[in-house]
Amino acid sequence: MSVDLLAALEQKFGYYEFRPGQQAIIENILQGQDTLGILPTGSGKSLCYQLPAYIQQGLTIIVSPLISLMQDQVAQLQLQGEKQSIALNSTLNWSAQKFVLTHLKNYRFLFSAPETLNRPDVLAALCQVNIQTLVIDEAHCISQWGVDFRPSYLKLGAIRQQLQPKATLMLTATATPKVQQDILEKLALPKAQKVIYSVDRPNIFFDVIQCADRQAKQAQLLTLIHQLQLPGIIYFSSRQSAETMAQLIQQQCHIPTAFYHGALSTKDRYLIQQRFMTGELKVICATNAFGMGINKADIRFVIHYHAPVSFESYLQEVGRAGRDGHQSIAILLTLPDESGRQARLLEMGLPTPVMVKAFFKRPDRFKNSPEPAFELLNQLYRNRFTESEVTQMLENKRREKNESLWAFNRFVNLTTCRRQHLVHYFGEQQRIVHDDQCCALGFDTAITATLEKLKLYHLNVEEVPSDADLNLDTLEWPQVLKHIFE
């Protein structure tokens, strides 16, 4: 293992070792080798292009399908103290865009969508600078075989040839062999190397607890929070239950807890992320809106208070635990008659039939809608997809999600190795050797013993709120200014 890479990793990111797949990809990029990386969400995909950007000179361009995704990634870089990053998209006004294009040398990371990159002025400006890596995030969007197909991605083959990057890195979390081949063909990179990393996360213990009824479930959650090594995330299916439980935990366990969901203002969302990152908050009660941008390495548990919307989202949410490689646990709380909910399109960020109808009636009306669902419709429309084609695509997507939910319900009621079922579902041949550090066979009826066995048992005594010196009830503005500026 190259010492330099490890030293850079520690210095820049504070990690002491790479996670599977990362090093191979980084070495490829540094050698100018085009690479297709298939890494599950939460495995540190972005580090694969961030680290080389600090080692080599030149601009790294990251192609992203959605404005909201770019915004999150830039915010994440800003959190890491990286100021030389910018998202070039329609939210920047014309003069700001012009400034960026004439000062490209000032930037290390440039995020953009295929449409923007394809603009003649943008291409011309980019051709003047030294481009180190072209990163195609969510690369599976280029494949018509995939349900996430983004027509604008088809332009990337031609764009890549004009930009002439030293290396192209295609990243995706999931891609069947058919989709993998399609990605390489569309980008005309048949010789690219593939780095595929298993969805399995050996340091996460998979646990399911069945509760007698809703009341028992609530009590079980509170007990768990008392006993679990912190910090952690609890996922709920509704905003209301996330809020209610956050309050209950705060009151009964005296642990700094916040709720987090899509209805919060941007400011509140970032405030909560910030406090969770710095350890001021120990527990987050979240809906599936939480996750983007969260790169906290030491999350010890993820609890699902309700069933997730699909097997994929379960894996993604669970994957936020234990990124530092230490023992962590995923606990699902279930009821005898509970099964997952049918996937709803809007929850997946996809347009509903009503939205599709409204859109195709008056496409011009939705031209600049920042709503991800309409962003997608705009792309499809610009690429001449008809209303019925779009409807069909969405229906397929919904069906696929429901199939995955069905597989997840089997996972819940399994009496054999859960990890084996999981890797199978995600198309891997790997044979899991089950042991008592792996998963709970059947429902766990002795959770305390499980936690002790995993060394995750930790009696949480009352925590003193960290901002005790700033009591909001008596706070006056001179104090605020003093605290902020002195």
Report the Cα 201 to chain-centroid distance in Å.
Answer: 16
Contact 340, 409 (CB under 8 A): yes
453 binds, among other proteins, Zn ion, none (CB under 5 to 8 A by kind): none
Minimum distance from residue 436 beta carbon to Zn ion (Å): 9
417 scored as a contact of Zn ion (CB under 5 A): yes
* Spatial separation of the C-alpha atoms in residues 397 and 335, rounded to whole Å: 28
Structure tokens at 351: 């347009």
Residue with tokens 């609530």: 218
Which C-beta is closer to other proteins: that of 189 or that of 271?
Answer: 271
485 binds, among other proteins, Zn ion, none (CB under 5 to 8 A by kind): other proteins
Contact 240, 358 (CB under 8 A): no
Beta-bridge partners for 232:
283, 301
Which C-beta is closer to Zn ion: that of 192 or that of 208?
Answer: 208
* Spatial separation of the C-alpha atoms in residues 319 and 400, rounded to whole Å: 21
Instruction: Pick the stretch among 39-47, 114-122, 359-367, 410-418 that binds Zn ion (CB under 5 A).
Output: 410-418
Which C-beta is closer to other proteins: that of 89 or that of 402?
Answer: 89
434 scored as a contact of Zn ion (CB under 5 A): yes
Which C-beta is closer to other proteins: that of 219 or that of 470?
Answer: 470
57 binds, among other proteins, Zn ion, none (CB under 5 to 8 A by kind): none
274 binds, among other proteins, Zn ion, none (CB under 5 to 8 A by kind): other proteins
Minimum distance from residue 486 beta carbon to other proteins (Å): 7
480 binds, among Zn ion, other proteins, none (CB under 5 to 8 A by kind): other proteins
Task: Kindly tell me which residue out of 438, 443, 453, 457 binds Zn ion, with binding defined by CB under 5 A.
Answer: 438
Which C-beta is closer to other proteins: that of 92 or that of 154?
Answer: 92
Residue 162 three-state SS = helix
Which C-beta is closer to Zn ion: that of 427 or that of 442?
Answer: 442
Beta-bridge partners for 53:
none
Cα torsion 246, 287, 272, 216 to 10°: value is 20
* Spatial separation of the C-alpha atoms in residues 138 and 91, rounded to whole Å: 21
475 binds, among Zn ion, other proteins, none (CB under 5 to 8 A by kind): other proteins
- What is the secondary structure of 189-256 as a DSSP string? -TT-EEEE--S--TTEEEEEEE-SSHHHHHHHHHHHHHHBPSPEEEE-SSHHHHHHHHHHHHHHH---
439 scored as a contact of Zn ion (CB under 5 A): yes
Rg (C-alpha) for the chain, rounded Å, is 23
Provide the angle, in degrees to the nearest 10, between the axes of the packed helices 311-318 and 387-412: 60
Contact 339, 311 (CB under 8 A): no
Task: Catalog residues that contact other proteins under the rule CB under 8 A.
Answer: 71, 75, 78-81, 83, 87, 89, 91-93, 96, 258, 264-268, 270-275, 278, 293, 467, 470, 472-473, 475-478, 480-486
Which C-beta is closer to Zn ion: that of 345 or that of 439?
Answer: 439
Binding residues with Zn ion: total (CB under 5 A): 5
Q: Which residues bind Zn ion (CB under 5 A)?
A: 417, 419, 434, 438-439
